[in-house]
Every structure is written in structure tokens, then in C-alpha cells.
Amino acid sequence: MRGVFPALLLWFSAVYASHGLAPCLSNAGLSFEIAQNSTWAADTTAFNTRLHYVPSAIVYPTTAAGVSSAVKCAVQAGMHVSPLSGGHSYSASGFGAQNGSLVVNFRDMSNIMHDAKTQQATIQSGARLGDVALALNASGRALAHGVCPYVGVGGHSAFGGFGYSSRSWGLLMDQVISVEMVLANGSIVHASSDQNAELFWASRGAAPSFGIITQYTYQTHQAPSSVVRFSFSFSNPSLSPQKFAHVLSAYQDYGGTAPKAMGISANVWDSGRTVELGGYYMGSMVNFNKTATDLLAKTGMPDGWYVQERSWIQALVEVNGGSSLDTTTASDTHTTFYAKSLVSPIASPLSNKSLEWLAGNFTKPLPSGYAWFTQFELWGGGDSAISSIPSTATAYPHRSHLFTMQFYIYQTQSGLWAEDATGFMNDQAEALVDGNPQTVFGAYANYIDPELAGWKDMYYAGNYDRLEVLRKAVDPDGVFMKPQSIGPSS
């Protein structure tokens, strides 16, 4: 019963807070829900159910003007405001990452419009990646983005947006050419390289600290007629640190000069007993065979493999685990997890010793009812489009980096979260940091860790001070303030 009274207190707090807000939202003609609504519990459940925050209300605008009205109502009521596009933030940031925010849910703003003349796509922030891929493919176009169909473009574009085609085309935010944004004073502005350029700069890497982006305009690409799907699996049943380090070091060595057409990550599965090098190649089978030969000459032959030419859409389905890209066919799911990330510079390769230390953590005891995976995504190296952009060109700073690494642990059965599970994944990351004492690591805000120490430097590096100056200018009262957003009190 200990959890009942805090939950009731939060519910009553939400009811009380909404009293001043609800009349304003109603007068503005906005659809919204508050704690008394029957759907409240379901609609305030975060993707990561380890975290739960109670908003004052959730508003469902259909236009930028509606978003503007909602922001003005929140300011009048003295509340923070948080946009929710797909809701997949690891820290439940869409719900404000704190209690009492007005959540602006983009459920009813998910239009996808393609201009055949300019080959640009204007996409509202509530659109999901799977639906975007299908809609653009119908016109023979595509964007580089992540693999999960249910992720919303709003948050994905705001902090980066990596997919297997990103080494060819850039992060999703690199394909943005303009945004429509609602500021803290309720004004609706457009930002691009030619208009509100400083705001446009900040919107590519730290957007939610400055306003609510209602729609993005992207420069699309010709969808490939086919790509080469591949998977090379290396078995390590004895959890040998030396064997693990050999495969990862060889992959790292290959990645330094890998062609940009190669979209690849190293996925550590099965409690560390399997390392899978997989993804897809944006070119012909002949050219894939050449670069795959170079890779396997370094790693040695895998224990299992798969190589197959696939259509663009079929490849996107396969890399997300086989789920349909059409998010209208089934509801999104929830999971309970903790994750963190590290970003490693090209100039400071991970030492063999640190990789062995990492593998040594695989044998540590894990609480019952948990599973984990670790990923080494190849972002830089060779002629990668991600690395071709200067670190100060966007708010996202990590351009001269090779790997983005994700450490992810999740529950396989329900129950209270075990802090030992958090520690298990922290130990993995710390093994790499401790084993490379001269390396300055970064982190990736789309794999946000709400417990990360030193997050300002880890996420934004040398760009943070510039971001804070702009935040003071466009949101001096901290309307969009939340944990780990730009600002002195975050």
C-alpha cells in the first residue's frame, strides 16, 4: 500500500493544477484531457514504464495556432510546457520529466506532405518513422532515420536521428532545411539557414529547450532500388574477453575507413555470447562483397551469416525486427528499462584492454527477470556524411566520432526496478571510460540517461554556452524548462 498514497497525492495535485488551466484551453477551442478523464491513466503511461510523471493536462492541438494557444494558457497558469510526438523518450521527457507540466501531444498533427517539384517533405511532428518511410517510398523518396517504426519525427529530429543510411545521407536532423516553431511567448516562427538562423542551429540538436517544433521540412533522397541486408554472427559461448575484444577491435579498425554506403552496428546479444555485425549496404552486391571481404579479413570468419539483396522497404522492416512499418495497424508497446550511451572519438580508438574489461562485466551477476544488449553503432569513419559536418554547424556536436554506443537493460518480467540492474549497465560504460583514461567521451541525447553526471558537456560539448545564451533570449522565464534542458536550473 505504500505506493498508493503518493499516487493519490499526484492525482489530486493534477486535478487541482488543471482547474486554472482547463477553462483557458476550453475557451481556445482545444481538445484536452485532465486527471478526471477515463483515459488519463493510459495516456500518461510513458514508453519507459520505469518512469512516471503526472502532467497537469494533455492537450491535442491540430494546428500550429492551437499549439500557440496552449502555450499561452500554460504561461498564464504558470506551468512548464512539454511537447510529446512519438513518446519514445528514454527519460519520459515528453511528459515533462517532472510532474505538473502541460503536455502538448501531437497525436492529431501527423501529416506527411511531399513536394514532387522540390523533392522536399514537410512533416508534422506527430508523424511516426514507419509511416514516414511508407509515405515517402510511395513517391520513390526516402530519408535516413532510426529503425523503430513508432518513434516520432519530433524528438528524433530534435536530437539527431541515426539510421543505417545516415553514413550516406546524414542524421535525420542533417536533412532538415527548415522548421516551424512555437516560442515561449506563443509566437509562430520559421527558422532556416536564411531566417532565424541561430534558432535553426539550436533546433538541430537541442530543439525542445527553445520551443515546440510543429513541423519539419526535409530534403529527401531517391529511395534505393535495393540494398544489401547482411548479418555476421560471432559466437563466444565461453565469454572469452580476448575473443570479444578481437572482434570489436577488428570492427573498429575496419570502421575507420569504411565506405559511407556501409550502414553497420555491432550488437552484443545473448548475455555477451554473441556479437552480430549487421545492417545494410547502400549499393550493389559486387561492391558490398568487396568491403565485406575487408571486414572479415580483420575479424576472421563468422560462425553464421546472412547476405541478401532486399528492397528498401523490406530492409527497413528487417532491421527493426520484422514489425510492420504501418503504425496504424497496432498500438505501440511499453517496456521497462534503463539505458545510457557513450560517443567515442575517431582520434582515440577504444583500447583492447578496455574492451576486455567490458567483456569481463558480462559474467557479473544479473538480477532475475532482466536482459540486456549493448550496441556499437558506426557513425563516423571513412567518408561518412555525419563526419563531413563541422562540430559547430549544429547544436549536436559529435561529428569527429566513430562509435555511438548504447547500453540497454530491460525487465523480462514485471516488478519493482532493481537498482542493481542500473549498476550492471553503468559498470559496462565505466569499463570503457576507465580503460581509456585520456579519451574525452560524449553521449547522445536520443539515448538520454536522466541520471547522467556531467550531461552538459557529454551531450553538447563546446556548444553548450552558445545554447544557453540563446535560451535566455527566446525563453527567459523557462517555459520549456525540464531536467537536462538548456538552462541554469536544469
CATH architecture of the domain 112-223 equals 2-Layer Sandwich (3.30)
Is residue 447 pLDDT above 60, yes or no? yes
Q: Where in the chain is the domain with CATH 3.30.43.10?
A: 4-105
Residue 246 banded pLDDT, cuts 50, 70, 90:
very high
Strands (E), 34-174: 57-60, 81-84, 102-105, 112-115, 120-124, 141-142
Element (H, E) at 158: helix 153-159
Is residue 360 pLDDT above 70, yes or no? yes
pLDDT at 488: 72
pLDDT at 5: 47
Q: Where in the chain is the domain with CATH 3.40.462.20?
A: 227-462
Residue 19 banded pLDDT, cuts 50, 70, 90:
low
pLDDT at 2: 45
Mean pLDDT across the stretch 97-106? 97
Handedness of CA 71, 460, 334, 172 (dihedral sign): positive
The helices-and-strands tally (H runs, E runs) of the chain is 14, 18
Q: Considering only the top CATH level, what class is 227-462? A: alpha beta
pLDDT at 20: 82
Given a contact cutoff of 8 angstroms between Cβ atoms, the answer to whether 367 and 420 are in contact is yes
Mean pLDDT across the stretch 471-483? 96
Spatial separation of the C-alpha atoms in residues 303 and 296, rounded to whole Å: 12
Given a contact cutoff of 8 angstroms between Cβ atoms, the answer to whether 280 and 232 are in contact is no
Is residue 134 pLDDT above 80, yes or no? yes
Residue 224 banded pLDDT, cuts 50, 70, 90:
very high
Is residue 16 pLDDT above 50, yes or no? no
Q: Give the CA radius of gyration of the chain.
A: 22
Is residue 6 pLDDT above 90, yes or no? no
147-201 tens-digit pLDDT: 999 999 999 999 999 999 999 999 999 999 999 999 999 999 999 999 999 999 9
Q: Where in the chain is the domain with CATH 3.30.465.10?
A: 112-223
Q: How many CB atoms lie within 10 A of CB 406?
A: 22
Grid cell 578496455 in the structure block, residue: 354
pLDDT at 76: 96
How many percent of the chain have pLDDT more than 90? 95
Spatial separation of the C-alpha atoms in residues 221 and 117, rounded to whole Å: 13
Is residue 9 pLDDT above 70, yes or no? no
Summary mean pLDDT of the chain? 95
Handedness of CA 276, 421, 160, 32 (dihedral sign): positive
Per-residue DSSP letters for 184-230?
Answer: TTS-EEEEESSSSHHHHHHHHHHGGGT-EEEEEEEE-EEPPS-EEEE
Spatial separation of the C-alpha atoms in residues 43 and 27, rounded to whole Å: 23
Q: Quick one: fold of 4-105?
A: 3.30.43
393-437 tens-digit pLDDT: 999 999 999 999 999 999 999 999 999 999 999 999 999 999 999
Paired with 415 in beta bridges are: none
